[in-house]
């Protein structure tokens, strides 16, 4: 009987892992595609006659940032629902919204067809994506970590970040394939639409998986438990956002903004920029799951601190290698791979660290808001800040300064260990407890 129960628990845990991961894959596949095709989207939606390419790119990144600023709204809205009615129904709702909005982007008329209406339609769909993405992370991580076997929360949570890497790699791979098989004219005319339209079958598959998902035992057991004071929850949200600030900023700088930076600042071709991005995302993907495993053994904070400190130390030297025309392509490829790998050290333990800051009955809302707020400011604005600052200052080192500065703040947040945070489990400890049960009782570990 005990063996049968264990096997059923293992099957349920794996189903939760897949169902939670697939939504993250689709979300970041689309956000990656939008970033990779930023220059083409700028030309098709934000460049009336007489507008400059730089101005159009800034407007494109502004639309990019706007979607991120709606993530906290989505995190609060869907998180509250998820903490009250359950993780499963809300995750079904957000994947449906994300799929519809992303697919419609691929069918939008351009500025040449409908004029000034085009950027407004695109921005509206980006807002819908931001809302759904805000509700995605908190629910997915809650499901993964609450179904995780004892002592494996870091590993299970790392799959959220791993599927982010897979989504970005998938978007980069599709973009690179289209850039190879289509002419530049075909790519700009209609080819850019194909990656967005591909979201429809992907989303339907994700919806099917989530319809088969069970509600987490932790939510069923703890939904009526006493909620921690709002002040404690707010403090945990602020601490969590600070701890992942570097992950958010360095991740988007190295993994998404890099293609446009290489093209607009270093005169790289579209294909070269995408190859560099694939290498960076591959390095990111390789280190995520091992970092999650290490955090189960040694604690979340030591592993994340290592990644944040490495970004502070290495960001400028790595970027200088890319800028040096005398450096071989092999060395440059290793540099971008290394940049992604370092971010993976923060991304692997990050989801479990956030989950452990909050008890079950406010976890969806709390960790979702911490993640969404950090990403809204430091990921969503990365392209806008970097592009605009380079334009104003003429300094090509801005991406490195941006990544290093935000990681320095994360170092301070990770180094600070409060006595108790919102009844959570403590991000610095090796968590061997049943997820979502003991830490939900409002006591520090």
Q: What is the pLDDT of residues 312-347, one digit of tens each?
A: 999 999 888 888 888 887 888 888 899 999 999 999
Range of the domain at 84: 2-441
Residue 259 has pLDDT above 80, yes or no: no
Average pLDDT estimate for 121-134: 89
Instruction: Give the list of residues 6+ apart from residue 104 with CB closer than 8 angstroms, or none.
Output: 125
Read off the DSSP letter of residue 426: -
Task: Let me know: does 239 contact 421? Beta carbons within 8 Å.
Answer: yes
Read off the DSSP letter of residue 148: S
Residue 94 has pLDDT above 50, yes or no: yes
Write the DSSP string, 204-239. Answer: HHHHHHHHTPPPPHHHHHHTTSPPPPHHHHHHHHHH
Percent of the chain with pLDDT strictly greater than 70 = 87
Helix (H, G, I), strand (E, B) or coil at 46: coil
Q: What is the pLDDT of residue 437?
A: 33
Taking the CA atoms of residue 170, residue 171, residue 177 and residue 180 in that order, the dihedral angle to the nearest 10 degrees is -150
Instruction: Provide the pLDDT confidence category of residue 267 given band limits of 50, 70 and 90.
Output: confident
Instruction: Provide the pLDDT confidence category of residue 362 given band limits of 50, 70 and 90.
Output: very high
Instruction: Provide the pLDDT confidence category of residue 439 given band limits of 50, 70 and 90.
Output: very low
Q: What is the pLDDT of residue 295?
A: 96
Average pLDDT estimate for 405-419: 88
Measured CA to CA, the distance from residue 355 to residue 153 in angstroms comes to 9
Q: What is the pLDDT of residue 325?
A: 83
Q: What is the pLDDT of residue 11?
A: 76
Instruction: Provide the pLDDT confidence category of residue 299 given band limits of 50, 70 and 90.
Output: very high
| Helix (H) or strand (E) run with residue 174 in it | helix 153-181
* Placement of tokens 């971008």 in the chain: 336
**Residues making up the chain, counted from first to last:** 445
CATH number, domain containing residue 194: 1.20.1250.20
Read off the DSSP letter of residue 268: -
Residue 59 has pLDDT above 60, yes or no: yes
Number of domains present in the structure of the chain: 1
Measured CA to CA, the distance from residue 247 to residue 384 in angstroms comes to 18
Residue 174 has pLDDT above 70, yes or no: yes
Measured CA to CA, the distance from residue 22 to residue 160 in angstroms comes to 9
Q: Is the dihedral of CA 340, 341, 347, 353 positive or negative?
A: negative
Closest CA to 228 of 80, 361, 354, 364: 361
Q: What is the pLDDT of residue 88?
A: 93
Across the chain, what does the average pLDDT equal?
Answer: 83
Measured CA to CA, the distance from residue 315 to residue 303 in angstroms comes to 18
Closest CA to 165 of 329, 292, 42: 292
> Counting Cβ atoms within 10 Å, is residue 395 exposed (0-12), middle (13-18) or buried (19+)?
exposed
Closest CA to 158 of 305, 251, 289, 61: 289
Measured CA to CA, the distance from residue 52 to residue 142 in angstroms comes to 44
Least confident of 193-207, 306-320, 385-399: 385-399
The more confident residue out of 235 and 34 is 235
The b/e string for 318-357 (b: 16+ C-beta within 10 A; e otherwise) is: bbebbeeeeeeeeebbebbbbbbbbbbbbbbbbbbbbbbb
Instruction: Provide the pLDDT confidence category of residue 49 given band limits of 50, 70 and 90.
Output: low
Q: What is the pLDDT of residue 107?
A: 93
């Amino acid at each position: 009987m005990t063996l049968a129960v264990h096997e059923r628990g293992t099957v349920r845990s794996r189903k939760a892992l897949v169902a939670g991961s697939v939504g993250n894959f689709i979300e970041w596949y689309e956000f990656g595609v939008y970033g990779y095709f930023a220059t083409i989207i700028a030309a098709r939606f934000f460049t009336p006659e007489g507008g400059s390419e730089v101005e159009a790119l800034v407007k494109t990144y502004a639309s990019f940032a706007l979607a991120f600023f709606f993530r906290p709204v989505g995190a609060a809205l869907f998180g509250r629902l998820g903490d009250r009615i359950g993780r499963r129904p809300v995750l079904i709702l957000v994947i449906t919204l994300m799929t519809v909005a992303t697919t419609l982007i691929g069918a939008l008329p351009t500025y040449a067809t409908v004029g000034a209406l085009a950027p407004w339609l695109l921005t509206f769909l980006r807002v819908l994506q931001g809302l759904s993405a805000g509700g995605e992370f908190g629910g997915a991580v809650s499901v993964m970590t609450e179904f995780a076997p004892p002592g494996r929360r870091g590993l299970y949570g790392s799959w959220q970040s791993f599927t982010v890497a897979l989504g970005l790699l998938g978007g980069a791979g599709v973009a690179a394939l289209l850039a190879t098989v289509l002419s530049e004219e075909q790519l700009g005319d209609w080819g850019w639409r194909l990656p967005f339209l591909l979201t429809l079958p992907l989303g339907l598959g994700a919806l099917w998986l989530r319809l088969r998902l069970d509600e987490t035992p932790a939510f069923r057991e703890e939904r009526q438990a006493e909620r921690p004071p709002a002040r404690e929850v707010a403090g945990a949200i602020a601490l969590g956002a600070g701890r992942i600030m570097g992950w958010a900023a360095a991740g988007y700088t190295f993994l998404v903004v890099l293609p446009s930076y290489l093209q607009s600042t270093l005169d790289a071709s579209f294909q070269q920029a995408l190859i560099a991005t694939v290498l960076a995302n591959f390095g990111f993907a390789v280190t995520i799951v091992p970092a999650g495993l290490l955090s189960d053994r040694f604690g979340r904070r030591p592993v994340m601190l290592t990644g944040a400190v490495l970004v502070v130390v290495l960001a400028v030297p790595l970027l200088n290698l890319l800028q040096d025309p005398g450096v071989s392509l092999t060395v440059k490829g290793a540099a971008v791979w290394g940049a992604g790998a370092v971010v993976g050290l923060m991304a692997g333990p990050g989801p479990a660290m956030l989950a452990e800051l909050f008890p079950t009955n406010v976890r969806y809302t709390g960790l979702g808001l911490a993640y969404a707020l950090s990403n809204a400011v430091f990921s969503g604005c990365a392209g806008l800040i970097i592009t605009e600052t380079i334009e104003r200052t003429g300094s090509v080192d801005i991406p490195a300064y941006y990544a290093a500065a935000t990681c320095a703040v994360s170092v301070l947040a990770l180094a600070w260990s409060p006595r108790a945070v919102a009844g959570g489990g403590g991000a610095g400890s090796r968590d061997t407890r049943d997820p979502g049960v003991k830490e939900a009782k409002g006591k520090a570990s």
